[in-house]
Structure 1
Amino acid sequence: MKLLTLNSHSLLEEDYLKKTQIFVEEILQENIDVFALQEVNQSHDDKILAKNPHNYYGTSILKQNNHALYIADLLAKQGKNYHWIWEDCHLGYDIYDEGIAIFSKYPIIDTKIIPLSKTQDHTNYKTRKALAICCEVNQQKTWFISMHMGWWNDEEEPFQRHWQNLVTALKPISQDTIFLMGDFNNRSDIKDEGYNLILKDKWYDLYELAQIRDEGITSSSGIAGWFSQNSEAIRIDYIFCNKKINVQSQKSIFTGIDKPTISDHFAVLTECTKGV
């Protein structure tokens, strides 16, 4: 099973159409089973889509230039009809509905929207949610969750509160296999913060389980929310699992070395054993 997560930056990117085409080509070439996206935007004032696609499982209103919708259309033109869902989280840059999305080859049998932040005001950019889908993988219920978390030191919406809200919401399904995928906004090299809290709660970082792996870098400290004069290479995008599974490999792609950069984050691509 191949999993991928990417903070896509979507409509904010220069050469947006070209970069989205590059992304879709990689999804097809790698034959990705499930991929999670963050910062999936649509123009707030764009026209509402007249009719939702049959393989769209969300309740959030789609506008015509929705980034996830465009990806779904490009995939469909290549004969790949993924099941997908998008959830609107907050207003970004005063002009975008910014959300999170998940695409799956497996039929979606259940969904959950999990509020993470205390505020759920659409006009507040600190509003955070997790988006979960359940699929049957090897005759077992398996959950895939896309999220874009807050920062550890945020006084209004700290990561620790977001994490606790997520953990509490997942307790009823804790016997199922769960994959957490996304931008966690917590560096792996800073001790006693978000990354260590996740490990302490007995979640497995698939990067650490991987038999083959690269340096793991997923972005730099030069991006929004992490700005540093020195712009260090950092790892803040992850795939975690609540069970210790067999992971063949994990690598970052769209790094500008292997393939062109398409966002201010790299994508994380993991190959692991289906199910438990």
Structure 2
Amino acid sequence: MNKITLLYAKNLITRKASVPEQDLSFLVLVDDLAFDKSVDVAWAGEDGVWHTLTAAYHGKAGHNQEYWFARMAFAAATDQSLPGNIQFALRYRVSGAEYWDNQQGENHSLQADSGIMLADKGRLLNVEFGRRLADGENLLPVVVAVDAALQARRVTIHWTRDDWRNSRKSACHYGRNYWDSEFLSNARNPNHYGCQIWNTVLKVDGACRVHYRISCETRQEVLWDDNFGQNYSVQRRPLTVMILNLHCCQEENQDDKLSRIARAIDAQDVDIVCLQEVAELWNDGKGDWQTNTARIINERIKSPYHLVTDWSHLGFDRYREGVAVLSRYPIERHQGRYVSSSRDPYSIHSRKVVMAQVRVPYVGLINVFSSHLSWWEDGFAEQFENLRQWAADEHTHQVTATMLCGDFNIKAGSRGYQLVVDSNEYDDQYLSANSPQVFRRIFTARDAHWERCLDEDHRIDYVFLRKGSGLAATASRAVFTEQDYGRVSDHFGYLMTFEPT
């Protein structure tokens, strides 16, 4: 089976404002052989000059497969003509290997202004579908390409806004343009290459997520495009949370590493950041805001976030050491509170946690606690109990989710971790996203021998999500490793993605 396959290609010329423009786009299916991969389109126009168009990841397809999408637009100019007819081939590079879809060396071809071409054996396909609903966007266009030889009688979108608890049907229309695309809406006739274009618009209102599949009725049969059995899913922006212990200014090249953290927050589009071992100069206990590492990171983010921070004790004999929360979204309420019995600023066992209540669009209020607790033998049990009770008091009916984030100084599977499990109140979100079978053994089935499952798991940093919260972790990974942004601390960071349930 091919590791890379063309699903469709489009070549359209529009004449908006009397300026001819040509749009080339390609939807590609690849086998997910490794995380680090690249997909591109090698193409040439009528001038015979070859170019490379880089594709971008577009979403999950069937089992171990991904969609990748490439698009480029050209405007005619006095010194430059449009590409016109093109020939092209697809290239997939992964794990040192290279795979091609090039028609066995003959290359694919696509005539100028010929519309959408379904690849070989393509009969029904959702085309140019998006993965995100923008803030304020309440209409979802769906465009379907159908092999004209099928003589389709009816194309229908079956969709839901509540994970199929209730379902709807919306009829598509042939020859009537509902799609506000500057390329299709200004094209003379997109129904070329023996391909019909059907479309409609779904009124999704304020839904966080929409699932849908497509049926096509002919005289002989009913065909389906359901994304290889997974259905199509379009959603609002997911929530991303990052946690990181900063190592209290003990790093070489410390300033460069603070800048690297800020660049990673920008690059990963993080929404909420929980930091521990935030440092600022002691200054006789009065502190020095200009040296606060959370403030420095925040000011180096392209668009600085909302920031709350507080300190607990003297760290490394020269810093006020504390915790912080940075949030892209407004912080409606915040508080710093000791969870340790000690409040002595000269004792490292004095531990303060910062809580920030954040209103996330299409999710609601989330209580986020940035925490740095002591080791088991130095008061973890008492501190976790105080934190758990505080979080429970704050989790009112108005709150969608509560997260306890940060450095808990307990190894996965240890006595302290077992205390969290036995509380039956919080779940380990990294484990939930990365090892669902192990997660179920520990947090659902309550296997009597679950500890051995975590022998090789050396984490002490966690995001614990309160049971019953209206969020679920869909992805999680370690960051600031040797392979991912480089080391910036004696801890890894963790980046997690959450979606509404």
TM-score of the aligned structures, taking structure 2 as reference length: 0.45
Q: Decide whether aligned partners of structure 1 residues 17 and 153 sit closer, same or farther in structure 2, where only a CA change above 3 A counts.
A: same
Aligned residues with identical type, % of pairs: 30
Q: Decide whether aligned partners of structure 1 residues 237 and 47 sit closer, same or farther in structure 2, where only a CA change above 3 A counts.
A: closer
Q: Which runs of 4+ in 1 moved over 3 A?
A: none
User: How many residues matched?
Assistant: 238
> Whose radius of gyration is greater, 1 or 2?
2
Mapped pair 1:145 → 2:369: yes
Q: Decide whether aligned partners of structure 1 residues 38 and 98 sit closer, same or farther in structure 2, where only a CA change above 3 A counts.
A: same
| Secondary structure, counterpart of 2:294 in structure 1 | helix
The 2-side partners of 1:212 and 1:21 are apart by 32
Residue 355 of structure 2 corresponds to which residue in structure 1?
132
The 1-side partners of 2:322 and 2:284 are apart by 15
Q: Which stretch of the first structure deviates more once superposed, 131-140 or 2-11? A: 131-140
What is the CA-CA distance between 1:63 and the residue it aligns to? Answer: 2.5
| Secondary structure, counterpart of 2:289 in structure 1 | coil
Q: Identify the match of residue 433 of structure 2 among 195, 210, 219.
A: 210
What amino acid does structure 2 have at the position aligned with 1:66?
Answer: N
Mapped pair 1:25 → 2:248: no
Q: Structure 2 unaligned runs (5+)? A: 1-238, 437-455
The 2-side partners of 1:211 and 1:165 are apart by 29
Residue 409 of structure 2 corresponds to which residue in structure 1?
185
What is the CA-CA distance between 1:243 and the residue it aligns to? Answer: 3.0
What is the CA-CA distance between 1:46 and the residue it aligns to? Answer: 8.8
Residue 11 of structure 1 corresponds to which residue in structure 2?
249
What is the CA-CA distance between 1:18 and the residue it aligns to? Answer: 1.0
Q: Identify the match of residue 69 of structure 1 among 295, 300, 313.
A: 295
The 2-side partners of 1:195 and 1:265 are apart by 18
Q: Identify the match of residue 496 of structure 2 among 253, 270, 274.
A: 270
Residue 173 of structure 1 corresponds to which residue in structure 2?
394
Q: Which stretch of the first structure deviates more once superposed, 134-143 or 101-110? A: 134-143
What is the CA-CA distance between 1:62 and the residue it aligns to? Answer: 4.7
What amino acid does structure 2 have at the position aligned with 1:183?
Answer: D
Alignment RMSD = 2.2
| Structure ranking higher in strand proportion | 2
What CA deviation, in whole Å up to 9, does each residue of 1:158-203 have, x standing for no partner? 100001111221222234311111000000032xx11121122220
Q: Identify the match of residue 198 of structure 1 among 420, 430, 450.
A: 420
Q: Which has the higher contact order (CA 8 A, sep 6+)?
A: 1
Q: Decide whether aligned partners of structure 1 residues 109 and 117 sit closer, same or farther in structure 2, where only a CA change above 3 A counts.
A: same
Residue 109 of structure 1 corresponds to which residue in structure 2?
332
TM-score of the aligned structures, taking structure 1 as reference length: 0.80
| Secondary structure, counterpart of 1:258 in structure 2 | coil
Residue 282 of structure 2 corresponds to which residue in structure 1?
44
The 2-side partners of 1:40 and 1:241 are apart by 23
Residue 385 of structure 2 corresponds to which residue in structure 1?
164
| Secondary structure, counterpart of 1:120 in structure 2 | coil
Q: Identify the match of residue 273 of structure 2 among 26, 29, 35.
A: 35
Q: Which stretch of the first structure deviates more once superposed, 22-31 or 199-208? A: 199-208
What is the CA-CA distance between 1:255 and the residue it aligns to? Answer: 1.2
Q: Identify the match of residue 315 of structure 2 among 88, 92, 101.
A: 92
Q: Decide whether aligned partners of structure 1 residues 165 and 18 sit closer, same or farther in structure 2, where only a CA change above 3 A counts.
A: same
In 2, are the aligned partners of 1:106 and 1:136 still within 8 Å (CA)? yes
In 1, are the aligned partners of 2:264 and 2:485 still within 8 Å (CA)? no
Q: Which stretch of the first structure deviates more once superposed, 164-173 or 181-190? A: 164-173
What amino acid does structure 1 have at the position aligned with 2:417?
Answer: Y
Q: Structure 1 unaligned runs (5+)? A: 49-60, 214-231
What amino acid does structure 1 have at the position aligned with 2:371?
Answer: M
